[in-house]
């Protein structure tokens, strides 16, 4: 009996220990799964319309022969718009071809459905195809203008931060890196350009060459002037902090002058809206009741005469 009791106690303790170990292991696995990041679901096949469009544009652009004369200019424009992917020219050319075919096909189908004549059919399809060919370039130019305006707007703040960094003892390379980190949220365009310049410096390019590449990538006149000032300062060994502070004051004064110029042009620009929109309604409100009373009082007098 004693042996059976000891065996039973041993079996119960063993089963309890095993159950407790499995329970703790299960809780540990759940804790790790809860703290781990959610897995990203990558589809095996292309199921998105955007991805299908991108693949179509890429293949069409790759099939087209590249123009050696206009390719450098196109690459420069794409970089200024913020597209740094080496395959960006291929996507752009493909978008042009696909847009031309899509716009022309839709216009042709619409004209056939409306029963347009042969001359109108050809004219509408040709105009829509030309619109599809021009639209990607116009969008690219709009992106360039918007990015240049954003860089020009945030440049004085970047210069103020550079002055603070230089006066605290940092070099120009560490200053641009720190400015890129601090301004990544407020002005991501300037932060992106400064980051690329720091990468070029780390790759072994000279500072003057990296600065000239910065001015060429953006195409902003104020930034080109800043690059020229920094190159001259580095060459002659003058104070960088004073130079940056003076140029920041110059940019703010130029921005103030541009704002005053726009304000002075506002009166001339408001002439046509006032003449065609405000004055007719004003005449209708002020002269309308008077004319109504005159007509109502004069018509009976004329009839009695």
Which tens digit of pLDDT belongs to each residue from 5-32? 655 655 676 666 766 666 666 666 565 5
Mean pLDDT score of the chain: 80
pLDDT score at 87: 85
Selected residue with higher pLDDT from 121 and 210: 210
- The string of pLDDT tens digits covering residues 250-265 is 888 888 888 898 888 8
Q: What DSSP designation does 301 have? A: H
Tell me how far CA of residue 43 lies from CA of 40, 46, 49, 207, 279, in angstroms: 10, 7, 13, 45, 61
Higher confidence at residue 143 or residue 304? 143
* Cα gap 73→243, rounded to integer Å: 33
Contact 218, 193 (CB under 8 A): yes
Q: Cα–Cα distances in Å, from 293 out to 36, 73, 287, 297, 301?
A: 82, 69, 10, 6, 13
């Amino acid at each position: 009996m004693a042996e059976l009791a000891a065996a039973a106690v041993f079996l119960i303790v063993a089963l309890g220990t095993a159950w407790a170990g499995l329970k703790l292991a299960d809780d540990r696995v759940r804790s790790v799964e809860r703290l781990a990041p959610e897995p990203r679901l990558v589809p095996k096949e292309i199921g998105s319309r955007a991805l299908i469009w991108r693949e179509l544009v890429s293949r069409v652009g790759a099939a087209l022969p590249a123009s050696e004369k206009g390719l450098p200019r196109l690459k420069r424009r794409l970089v200024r718009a913020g597209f740094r992917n080496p395959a960006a020219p291929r996507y752009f050319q493909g978008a042009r071809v696909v847009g031309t075919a899509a716009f022309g096909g839709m216009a042709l189908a619409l004209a056939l459905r409306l029963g347009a004549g042969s001359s109108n059919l050809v004219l509408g399809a040709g105009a829509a195809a030309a619109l599809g060919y021009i639209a990607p370039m116009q969008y690219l130019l709009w992106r360039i203008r918007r990015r240049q305006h954003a860089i020009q707007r945030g440049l004085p703040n970047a210069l103020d931060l550079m002055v603070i960094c230089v006066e605290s003892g940092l070099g120009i390379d560490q200053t641009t890196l720190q400015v890129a980190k601090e301004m990544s949220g407020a002005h991501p365009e300037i932060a992106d350009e400064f980051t690329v310049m720091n990468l070029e410096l780390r790759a072994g390019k000279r500072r003057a060459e990296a600065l000239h590449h910065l001015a060429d990538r953006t195409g902003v006149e104020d930034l080109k002037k800043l690059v020229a000032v920094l190159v001259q300062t580095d060459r002659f060994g003058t104070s960088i902090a004073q130079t940056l502070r003076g140029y920041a004051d110059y940019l703010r004064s130029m921005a103030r002058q541009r704002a005053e110029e726009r304000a002075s042009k506002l009166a001339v620009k408001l002439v046509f809206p006032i003449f065609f929109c405000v004055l007719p309604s004003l005449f209708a409100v002020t002269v309308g009741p008077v004319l109504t009373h005159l007509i109502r009082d004069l018509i009976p007098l004329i009839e009695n005469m």
